[in-house]
Structure 1
Amino acid sequence: MPKILIVGGGYAGFYTAWKLEKHLRRGEAEVVMVDPLPYMTYLPFLPEVAAGSIEPRHTVVSHRRHLKRTQLITAKVTGIDHANKTATITPEGGAPYELAYDHVVVTAGSVSRTFPIPGIAENAVGLKSVEEAIYVRDTLISNFEKAAALPQGDPLRQRLLTTIVVGGGFAGIETFAELRSLVSSLLKDYPGVTFDETQFHLIEAMGRIMPEVSLPTSEWVLKSLAERGANVHLDTQVTSAVDGIVETSTGESYPAGLIVWTAGVMANPQVTRGGDLPLEPRGRITTQADLRVIDADKNIVEGAWAAGDVAAVPDKTGGLPDGTCVPNAQHAVRQAKRLAKNLVAVIRGEEPVDYFHKNLGAVAGLGLYNGVFQSGKTAIKGFFAWVAHRGYHGLAMPTWERKWRVIWGWVHNFFLGRDNVQLAAAQQPRAFFEAFASRPKPPIEQPVEPVAAPAEAVAAPAEVK
């Protein structure tokens, strides 16, 4: 049987394996998926996870529960030698080994794209994983609790109540609005903290936010955020974040208790740079429209496929400026479905079909009961857009088991309210145990008495010449 190796179990990787199980006949091919995590994360839900609207475990999809015919390896792929059709698998705590394959599907996704700004690597956090979303939520609530114990006017209190989000794209705006909504819900539990004390700043380098929607719609979003006490700084760049103090290109500085970085993504460099597959200038693997990898001369690299954020897939609609599909969930899911069908077709000696998807619109949640939807020149704002946002993503969540968990959680929150409990101590679960654990007492050292030398061993000093 030909062996298909899928590198990465995120959006594109999970859907590719899921659909291959559906389309392949038994015994037609062996599918192996390698990923350091045992689950796929539904990234559009991360802002709601950070705001406490969705239980973190409900926004991930277990590989082992839903991929029954795929061999799963929880490890990293640290090298791809496609010339010899082998990949280097590095399990955690184990020695690397080589895995041979016939077809490789690279779907390693993307990571946060940062710049060498002093202090960002040490003090900011991204929002590309469920672990980061949990950290953001726990940190925000923990900061509230610490600030409430300090007197008004204390500089540390003001710092703890200041949150900064860098990046005004869809991810940044949704995160910013959801966190603002969370803080507003916290005020009733902390009567000593006033609304005006909670400072929220969004920093965007461009002259507008949310380029995926029309300018009037983005301006409405700005107005909606301003009405909820948010400060948006356009045409502004972060120049430093040393010691958690954010300094901007306009000369302002903000000591912050939480800095969230959402200013773009880039293809996973650990996989792309660790292999011999051709890359384009932005570091993505070059493919043609049928998702097969091609070299600089447009020749097909046999047995190599790529999809999702890690791939530069041509946009057949002609609607994007650089001619390739943008790195988002809509394209990743649809490309994976097409890739699975094309890979099965090639194995059976048939011709693959080009990927084509015309974006029908964009929808974003802006906190509880508020959202925005844009399709062409049609825009819906407010409550009905928020309903459309939850309806779309609730149905887009893979597997009915996960859909029901998410929707049932929303129903619970509607009747019971948001669960504003933080578990920041879970970041160091052994700290409490270690603080009170008994330890062996150090051995008592007995004093050593000097021993006199025997008389016959004492010699007269030698004569010095």
Structure 2
Amino acid sequence: MTHTAHRILIVGGGYAGFYTAWKLEKRLRRGEAEVTIVDPLAYMTYQPFLPEVAAGSIEARHSVVPLRRHLKRTRIVAAKVTGIDHAHKTATITPIAGEPYQQEYDQIVVTAGAVSRTFPIPGIADNAIGLKTIEEAVAIRDRLLTNFDKAAALPPGPERERLLTVVVVGGGFAGIEVFAELRSFASSLVAKYPELTFDETHFHLIEAMGRIMPEVSLKTSEWVLKDLAKRGAFVHLDTQVTSAVDGDVELSTGEVIPADLIVWTAGVMANPTVVRGGDLPVEERGRIRTRADLRVGTDDEIVEGAWAAGDVAAVPDLSGGGVGGYCVPNAQHAVRQGKLLAKNIVAVLRGENPVDYLHKNLGAVAGLGLYNGAFQSGNIAIKGFLAWLAHRGYHGLAMPTWERKLRVVAGWLGNVVLGRDMANLEAVQHPRAAFEEFAARPRPAQPAVTPPQAPRDAGAAADAPEKSRVAAGR
């Protein structure tokens, strides 16, 4: 079959992948290209909202963008790309149901994002939870609520305080935001549990470096530390986790913190399934080597037909503000790179030259619980309520599609009147438990029993030996 339309395969439906497809639909002419996006999850997660989802401030479904609803002309495939053979322009697609198959393409766009980066610390893999997905944020919220219910049923003591202890590992933006949001959430919950006291709740953040939030000034980060201390939260700087076996968090200082909820936010790494399963060039940190114009390759060599963006890509930061000369993995870069990527792909298809990605960071804003935040742009710093308004304003506008914006803002307005939602839905992780508990089951088959003989038959059998003896006597 002869293909007249260019086949564009997008690997990953996160920020960069969604925005690439979304903008391609607006820029491509009818019949100019066929766009396919492959992701095992049929939605894009707006990750800056995850701390607020974990704290019950935003409804989980409002924090994701359904791909099938908002991508009208893009083919959506619920699958993983487990191999890329760019030399032959084919990708191995492993669907969530069915057998793997090969898909041919003309242009491939790798936007597979990142996953939590952990270290081989005993107990972390078994007891901690990350904060990269909407499912993790919901699980954190429900675990905290369940622990409050359990603690309220126990007498005061070590086991009760373990249930009310939260440890967050990592002092970057994600770690500080979820730490502050959970502290704020727990403080509001205490009022609903007369059996518990504020002093029984313990919050610890562990950071290996000597400061938190490197995206803001040292002065602003120190203000955040003081603000957290006022709210009864402890931050351990220059400290590492050495073990978390059975939930006992051992620190490099020798301190041991018994905790039932451990949240890991200490870094990310490029999606290894995609990076290691292909033949595209990879740099030393495990990301796909990408040019400033978002084509895969280097300044001296271009890998034709291959593009990359977002957390999976090592994109040069031409503004000079990136760590090691590359764009840091965050939402701002992923969104803007996705938009430019669509523009550049269309330009190349039409014989035009792509343009370089250049974005100067306009600032950083963090939510620190209800009515509290921190904002930094250059030398300008805003703290407290105004920063919290700036945080909500920025992310409310940045959320893609008006449909999603309206849902999020409506939820925020509802919380002002009704308060934060504290419904615990942890049971949804085992949805059949109640049904199975009371479901009627067939009785087990009874073993076969030989029926007793009828009286007449029994008598006849009893007489038989006597008759035999009489006959023998004759």
TM-score when scaled to structure 2? 0.93
Q: How does 1:67-106 map to 2 (within 5 A)?
A: 67-106=71-110
The residue type paired with residue 224 of structure 2 is: V
Q: Distance in 2 between matches of 1:308 and 1:298?
A: 22
Residue 253, structure 1, aligned to residue 256, structure 2:
yes
CA drift at 1:342: 0.4
Counterpart in the other structure of 1:183: 186
Q: Distance in 2 between matches of 1:448 and 1:143?
A: 57
Q: Distance in 2 between matches of 1:171 and 1:427?
A: 24
Residue 318, structure 1, aligned to residue 320, structure 2:
yes
Q: Distance in 2 between matches of 1:267 and 1:430?
A: 35
1:32-57: per-residue Cα shift (whole Å, max 9, x none)? 00000010000000000000000000
CA drift at 1:298: 3.4
Residue 8, structure 1, aligned to residue 16, structure 2:
no
1:239-274: per-residue Cα shift (whole Å, max 9, x none)? 001111110110011110100000011000011101
The residue type paired with residue 203 of structure 2 is: F
Q: Distance in 2 between matches of 1:227 and 1:93?
A: 51
CA drift at 1:435: 1.1
Counterpart in the other structure of 2:216: 213
The residue type paired with residue 290 of structure 2 is: T
The residue type paired with residue 105 of structure 2 is: Y
The residue type paired with residue 430 of structure 2 is: Q
- Picking from 112, 123, 126, the partner of 1:108 is 112
Q: Secondary structure at the match of 1:319?
A: coil
Q: Secondary structure at the match of 2:431?
A: coil
Q: Distance in 2 between matches of 1:331 and 1:419?
A: 32
Q: How does 1:217-296 map to 2 (within 5 A)?
A: 217-294=220-297
CA drift at 1:321: 3.5
Q: Distance in 1 between matches of 2:161 and 2:199?
A: 10
- Picking from 139, 143, 147, the partner of 1:135 is 139
CA drift at 1:320: 2.4
Q: Distance in 1 between matches of 2:449 and 2:127?
A: 51
Q: Distance in 2 between matches of 1:167 and 1:131?
A: 20
Counterpart in the other structure of 1:458: none
Counterpart in the other structure of 2:201: 198
Q: Distance in 1 between matches of 2:424 and 2:38?
A: 33
Q: Secondary structure at the match of 1:189?
A: coil
Residue 344, structure 1, aligned to residue 346, structure 2:
yes
Counterpart in the other structure of 1:463: none
Counterpart in the other structure of 2:468: none
Bigger Cα Rg: 2
- State percent identity of aligned pairs: 75
Q: Distance in 1 between matches of 2:83 and 2:321?
A: 34
Counterpart in the other structure of 2:446: 444
Q: Distance in 2 between matches of 1:404 and 1:425?
A: 29
Q: Distance in 1 between matches of 2:430 and 2:282?
A: 40
1:265-302: per-residue Cα shift (whole Å, max 9, x none)? 1000011101110000111000110000006x831000
The residue type paired with residue 271 of structure 1 is: V
Counterpart in the other structure of 1:156: 159
Counterpart in the other structure of 2:332: 330
Structure 2 residue ranges without an equivalent (≥5): 452-474
The residue type paired with residue 26 of structure 1 is: R
The residue type paired with residue 334 of structure 1 is: R
Residue 383, structure 1, aligned to residue 385, structure 2:
yes
The residue type paired with residue 21 of structure 2 is: A
Q: Secondary structure at the match of 2:143?
A: helix
Q: Distance in 2 between matches of 1:62 and 1:323?
A: 34
Structure 1 residue ranges without an equivalent (≥5): 450-465
Residue 35, structure 1, aligned to residue 39, structure 2:
yes
Counterpart in the other structure of 1:63: 67
Q: Distance in 1 between matches of 2:450 and 2:347?
A: 84
Counterpart in the other structure of 2:174: 171
Q: Secondary structure at the match of 2:307?
A: strand
The residue type paired with residue 268 of structure 1 is: N
Q: Distance in 2 between matches of 1:298 and 1:52?
A: 50
Q: Distance in 1 between matches of 2:200 and 2:242?
A: 25
The 1:448–1:84 alpha-carbon spacing in structure 2 relative to 1, beyond 3 Å, is farther
CA drift at 1:118: 0.6
Q: Distance in 1 between matches of 2:89 and 2:294?
A: 18
The residue type paired with residue 342 of structure 1 is: N
The residue type paired with residue 282 of structure 2 is: L
- CA RMSD of superposed structures (Å): 1.0
Q: How does 1:351-366 map to 2 (within 5 A)?
A: 351-366=353-368
Counterpart in the other structure of 2:458: none
Moved beyond 3 Å, runs of 4+: none
- Picking from 300, 303, 321, the partner of 1:301 is 303
Q: Secondary structure at the match of 1:52?
A: coil
Q: Secondary structure at the match of 1:363?
A: strand
Q: Secondary structure at the match of 1:76?
A: strand
The residue type paired with residue 343 of structure 1 is: I
Q: Secondary structure at the match of 2:91?
A: strand
CA drift at 1:447: 5.3
Q: Distance in 1 between matches of 2:76 and 2:320?
A: 37
Counterpart in the other structure of 2:49: 45
Q: Distance in 2 between matches of 1:319 and 1:74?
A: 36
Q: Distance in 1 between matches of 2:44 and 2:251?
A: 36
The residue type paired with residue 377 of structure 1 is: N
Q: Distance in 2 between matches of 1:289 and 1:17?
A: 20
CA drift at 1:93: 2.9
Q: Distance in 1 between matches of 2:221 and 2:65?
A: 32
The residue type paired with residue 249 of structure 2 is: V
CA drift at 1:446: 2.3
Counterpart in the other structure of 1:410: 412
